[in-house]
Each structure stands twice: as C-alpha cells, then as structure tokens.
Structure 1
Amino acid sequence: MSDGTVRFEPAQTKRAFDSIIDQVRERLREGTLRPGQKLPSEREFAVQLGVSRNTVREAVRMLEIAGLVSLKKGASGGAFITSDNSDALAQGIVDGLTLGTFTVGELMEARIALDTAIARHAAAEITPAEVEELRALVEVARGYATEAEWPDRLRSHLAFEERLGQIAGNPILRLLNAPLLELTSEVSLRIGPSVGEAIWVAREHLLDALSHNDPGAAERVVRDYLENLHTSWLGHGAYENFLGGEA
C-alpha cells in the first residue's frame, strides 16, 4: 500500500466507479486523505476495491475532472489529491458561459460581490508593510506602458489582486474569486489597453483606503471601479461573442 494508513473497501458492483469516488470524498471529509497525498497505484487500488483496473481508471478520470485529483507522469508519478481545485471551478464557469447558463454580465456581478468583500476584509487586516507591498505591485504594473506589454501588465494586475486576496485572509473568497479574475482578465486581453486606464486612479484611492484601515472606503472604490469598467466594456462591445455569453 502506498501510504500505510488509508484503506478502501470493496466497491459495490453497481456503478462501481461512483462508489470509488464517494469513498475518496468521504476520506477527504474525514481527513484520512489530505491535499498532496498520493492515491494507491492503479493495481493496488483495483485489488483493494475489488474492481477492474479499467473501473479504477474511470473513477480517477472523473476525480480529475472534478478537480479533486491531479495526475503526474514519471517514476514518481501517479494520482495525487489536489491542493487547489480553482482550475476545475474556472472550467465550470467557462462551460456555463458557453452553454448560456449565465451571462458575462452576471460574471462581472459576481466579481464585484467578491472583490468588494475581499477589499473590505483586507482593509480591516492590512499592515503598513503590506500596503507598501501592494503599492510596489502597482508600480510594477505601471512599468508595462506599451501596447506590446499589455499581457505583462495584466499579469501584474492579477498579482495585485491575488496578494490582496491573501491579505484579506479568507481562503474561500480567494478560491471563488480566482477563476473570475482569470476570465475578466481574458476579456481585458482581448480588447486591449484602450479601455481601463482609470485603474491607476482606482488603485491610488484603494491604497489610501487600505492605509487608513477603512473597509467602507475600500469597498466603495472597488465597486465604483468595477461598475464603471463593466459599463465601459458594454460600450466597446467587449462582451459580444465572448464564450457565447451575453452582456
């Protein structure tokens, strides 16, 4: 056995791969499986579960799609419990946009709700040293001034947002917001740097609110900026044909 502690019971013959998935989820809830831990080899797993290796393979594939397992190749490879399933969450949002389950306007609405919550929490917790750290990230982004450097500027803006989320201290807010940041950044990447220059003013106002530990002001700055950005994107047709979504 791979880890010497976690054991699995023979799976039910009816929908055996569902039984395997349920057992993995149960052991995650119990804490006997943890992020980064390796599952038994395909052969070991099949013996423990009393199923074929094909059934194990199908279950692991479904766990990977769900974002609970990542597969690594090589001598030290195998199936590992993931430590971050934000990629699966992001894919679910992309799929929802593509299928028309929700619109990119609703995507921005969710982004506003999460970003304002993060700003409010960060303002209550932030230290002067962390404010200066964020200020330095703004200056890095400002350094990418040419149109050719637009992707680098976007990555720097993401670094700012991710650090702000860390400072806010709520990992669930950060996890939920990560795919929304990536998707709205993709919109920005497509329409180019002609829109969104007001971000520098918003950043300065946000840094000021954070430095005064003012949650209300931080929330207002973020809300106003994102609402204005949404309106600007609507005017530039940024949402048209984006992943099949509507504004």
Structure 2
Amino acid sequence: MAGSNEVDRALTRKTTTVATTPARARKPSARRLPAKTAEPVAKDRSQPRFAPIRTKRVFEEICEQVRREMAAGSLRPGDKLPAERELAAKLGVSRAAVREALRSLEIAGVVGLHKGARGGAFILKGDPDLVTRSIRDMFHLGRISLDNLTEARTLVMQLAMQLACERIRPTTVAALEKNVDRLTTLPVSGKASERVAISAEFYRLISQATDNTVMQVIIEALTDIVLQQVEESNIEFFPNLIAHRRRLVEYIATRQVDEAKREMTEHLQRLRRHLMRAERTAAENKTVRALAEEASQ
C-alpha cells in the first residue's frame, strides 16, 4: 500500500505542476493556423453616373411610338394613321396632345397632313431637304465654319469620284455632257444664279452616279449650302471652269479614278480659297461699317 500511495502522490504532484505552470512557460502548440484567403483587389472603375429623370411631355411619347412602329415595319410610306379622335382613344391621351404630336412629326418630315374627306396624316418617304436645312442652320448659327464645310465637301467628293467611276452609266455621262454644254451658252458676265443652277444640277448628276442614297443626300446638302455662298459672294466665273468640267466628265466616263479625284480636288480647293477670301473681305467691310457708324454718332 505504501508503494501505491507514493505513486498517487507523484501523479498528484505532476498534475498540480502542469496545472499551475504559467502560460508563458508553456511550450507553444504546433497546431497549424488556417491560411488567410487573399482579399480581392478592387478594380479601378468609374462611379455610376445617374442623370436626373425628366418626364417626357405626352406629345413626345406619341412621336416616339409612331417612330417605333416605323422602325418595326408596322408603318410604311403611304400608310395613313388613325383619325385624331381614334388615335387619342387608343393612346389614352387628349386630342390636343395628338394634334401637337402630328404637327411635330410634320415639321420633322415624318408625316404629311392633308385636309378634306380623304385627308388625314400619312407617313412620308423622308425628306432629304431636312438634312440640308439642319446643316445650313448650324452654319448660319456659327456651329459649322465655312472652312469645315468646304473641307468636308472636298473629302466627300473624293469618295464620290471613286464610286461614280465604278458605277457610272452611259445615260448619266450623256446628261453630264449636256449640262456642260449648257454652261458654255452663258455669258462670262452673266448672272451668278444661272451658273449656280447649272452647277447644282451637275453635282446632283454626280451624286446619282454614286448609286448610294446616303452619299446623294450628303453631296446635295453640302453642295446646296456652298453654292448659296458662291451666289451671295458673287464670285467671278472661273475662266477654266468649262475645261475643268469637260475633263472631269471624261475621266469619270473612262473610269480614271485617280485623275477624276485630282481634277475634282484641285477645283474644290481653288473654290475654297475664293470663298475664304470673300468671307474675310465681308468681315472686314462689316467692321469698317460698324466703326464708321460708331464714329458718326
């Protein structure tokens, strides 16, 4: 029993020693800590930009619905819209709102309004003159400079020369030659408006020769505005204009693309210089008049 008691006392002393050993004296545990997961790196990106919400006016929503139906093919040129009363009932809006929407669509060239027993609102084919008016308005308001306008026309006409040479038809060549012949009948000191009218037809024929509707609209829009400046500036008749036109028609007819581009570019750059000079002269004269009026007061 004595030996057993000594063993018990020894175990008791060992247990007490372990229990009372300070924590700092204990051997650190070899337990592996879980690996830390790398936090995702935030990507650089701009913050969302929220714009104020603006409630559309009723007539604007009506216009958008008409345009959506056109885009979907439900409305085509020549189709008649429902009568004003019927359209108002379908949309759940007032007749005044429908009337305002139709006027807006008419101004935009989307619909044509006809009076009478067979009248109403009809979908139009689209008016290319709207492009001309829009560019002309921006030009007159100073949003588009004469320099930019003439530069753009030169670039467009270079592409037009390439398309015209590739797609020209004998009937168009004949029409261009006839146009140049008409130009030869005009006196050198004739009215600028007559030369402008013949030139407008000449460029219209070239635009048609491209066989590209978008090009036709752009060419005729830019040409119309530039020729208006030619008429207002009263630029003198270019002595070599007829020879230039004859060479150009020949190059197009024989599909000489590079020569046609060069001929057209040289002519338009010469015209550009004349127009820029006329613009500077007009600005200087305006300044002189303003100073004279100020001095006289």
Tell me whether the two structures share a fold, i.e. TM-score over 0.5.
yes
Please state how far the C-alpha of 1:211 moved relative to its aligned partner: 1.8
Equivalent of residue 200 in structure 2, options 158, 173, 183? 158
For structure 1, list consecutive stretches of 5 or more residues without a partner in the other structure. Answer: 1-12, 242-247
Q: What amino acid is the match of 1:122?
A: A
Find the aligned partners of 1:73 and 1:238 in 2 and give their Cα distance.
Answer: 49
2:123 is aligned with 1:78: no
- Among 137, 142, 155, the alignment partner of 1:113 is 155
Q: Does structure 1 residue 237 correspond to structure 2 residue 279?
A: yes
Gaps of 5+ in 2: 1-54, 284-297
**One-letter amino acid of the counterpart of residue 199, structure 1:** L
Equivalent position SS for 1:38:
coil
Identity between Structure 1 and Structure 2 (%): 31
Residue aligned with 2:99, SS: helix
Name the amino acid aligned to 2:146: V
Q: Does 1:125 align with 2:181?
A: no
SS in 2 for 1:236: helix
| Structure 2: distance between partners of 1:164 and 1:64 | 30
The answer (yes or no) to whether the contact 1:195–1:232 under 8 Å persists in 2 is no
CA RMSD of aligned residues (A): 2.4
SS in structure 2 of the partner of residue 79 of structure 1: strand
The reply to whether residue 177 of structure 1 matches residue 219 of structure 2 is yes
Shift in Å, 1:44: 2.7
Q: 1:191 to 1:169 in 2, by over 3 A?
A: same
Report the TM-score, using the length of structure 2 for normalisation: 0.69
CA contact (8 A) 2:102 2:111 kept: yes
Q: How many residues align?
A: 229
Amino acid at match of 1:63: L
The answer (yes or no) to whether the contact 1:104–1:239 under 8 Å persists in 2 is no
What is the Cα deviation at residue 64 of structure 1? 2.6
How far does the alpha carbon of each residue in 1:179-238 deviate from its partner, in whole angstroms, 9 at most, with x for none? 211111111211225144433222112112112112222222111111110002222337
CA contact (8 A) 1:142 1:153 kept: no
Separation in 2 of the partners of 1:14 and 1:194? Answer: 52
The letter for the 2-side match of 1:161 is Y
* Amino acid across the alignment from 1:60: L
The answer for the alignment partner of 1:27 in structure 2 is 69
Residue 66 (str. 1) matches residue 108 (str. 2): yes
**8 Å contact kept, 2:177–2:249:** yes
Aligned pair in 2 of structure 1 residues 88, 127: CA closer, same or farther (>3 Å)? closer
Greater relative contact order (Cα < 8 A, sep 6+): 1
Instruction: Give the SS at the match of 1:157.
Output: helix
Preserved CA contact (<8 Å) 1:195 1:233: no
In structure 2, which of residues 235, 260, 269 is the aligned counterpart of residue 218 of structure 1?
260
Task: Give, as a single letter, the amino acid of the residue that structure 1 aligns with 2:113.
Answer: L
Aligned residue in 2 for 1:144: 186
Counterpart for residue 31 of structure 2: none
Aligned to 1:224, the other structure's residue is in SS state: helix
* Aligned CA distance change for structure 1 residues 218 and 71 (closer, same or farther; 3 Å): farther
Aligned pairs (5 A) from 1:6-25: 15-25=57-67
Cα-to-partner distance string for 1:27-57 (whole Å, 9 max, x where unaligned): 2212222223333332232222221121112
Distance in 1 (CA, whole Å) between partners of 2:227 and 2:281 is 12
**After alignment, is 223-232 or 200-209 more displaced?**
200-209
- Indicate how the Cα distance of structure 1 residues 215 and 144 shifts in structure 2: closer, same or farther if over 3 A, else same: same
